Structures are given as structure tokens and as C-alpha cells.
Amino acid sequence: MDSWVWWLVFAVGLGIPLAITALPEFGLFAVGAVGAAITAGVGASVVWQFLTFLVVSIAMLAVVRPIAYRKLDRGPRVRMGIEALPGARAVVQERVDEHGGRIKLNGEIWSARALHPDHVYEPGQQVDVVEIQGATALVD
């Protein structure tokens, strides 16, 4: 069998751990193996085939990998649970002052306290959730 076929078999073989482990580095090495298969296909010696494999694989690791990881890190951070509540608007259900009260926040009734002791919020008023402390929302 020609050596270019072995390089393609090696590239496909690198795809197996890529699929199992989801480590993209195996895919980058597979690209290097395809490069070596092309080099073998044009009739280059085994030394040139291995050099092509090494150069392409190292270049892919040095250039493509950092770019891919930077792109992965830039995704928006999704806030969930109580972490998503600060900054939300709520409607006062029962009078809210420094001692307590009730608000409707995202369709749920929450206990609430005024952030500033001198502020009082009456039913129907809209308030902003500043912080969540336990099961109590601090509002402003």
C-alpha cells in the first residue's frame, strides 16, 4: 500500500480520540497527517513526509489553537438563578421599608427590604433589585 494511504489512515485514526475526548488537538494533528499524505502523494521521501507532518502539526498548534481558545473564552456569560436577579425590575405588592415587605419579581412573590432605611415603597410602585440576601431582595 502507498504511504499516502497510511497517512490518511493515521489521520482518520486521530479522529477517533478527537471524537471520544473532544480534545481539538487531535484534529490539529490529523490536519498534519493529511498534509503528510499530500506530500507522499506527490512522491516525496519519507523524511519529507514526517517533516511535513511535524511542521503542519506544530503550526496548527501554534496558530490555530490560541485563536480557537480565545474565541471560546469570549462567549457571553449567562447569569442564572439568583445571580440573574440583581438589576431586575419588580413591582411592590406590600409596602416595602427597612423592616420588610413583599415584591413580585419575575412572576414570584419575594420578601424585600429597602436598601436605604429612609426609603418607603408603596404597592404598585416599580423598584430595582440591587442585591439578594438569602431569600430577601434589597430594592431601591
Model confidence, pTM: 0.51
Residue 23, CB-side half-sphere exposure with 13 Å CA sphere: 9
Q: Which part of the chain has CATH 2.40.50.140? A: 81-139
Q: Residue 127: pLDDT above 70? A: yes
- Per-residue pLDDT, 75: 63
CA dihedral of 116, 122, 128, 134, whole degrees rounded to 10: 70
State the pLDDT at residue 78: 80
What is the pLDDT averaged over residues 110-139? 95
More confident residue, 118 or 23: 118
Unique residue bearing C-alpha cell 412572576: 107
Taking residues 91-96, what's their average pLDDT?
Answer: 97
Provide mean pLDDT across the span 19-26: 84
Question: Is the CATH number 2.40.50.140 carried by domain 81-139?
Answer: yes
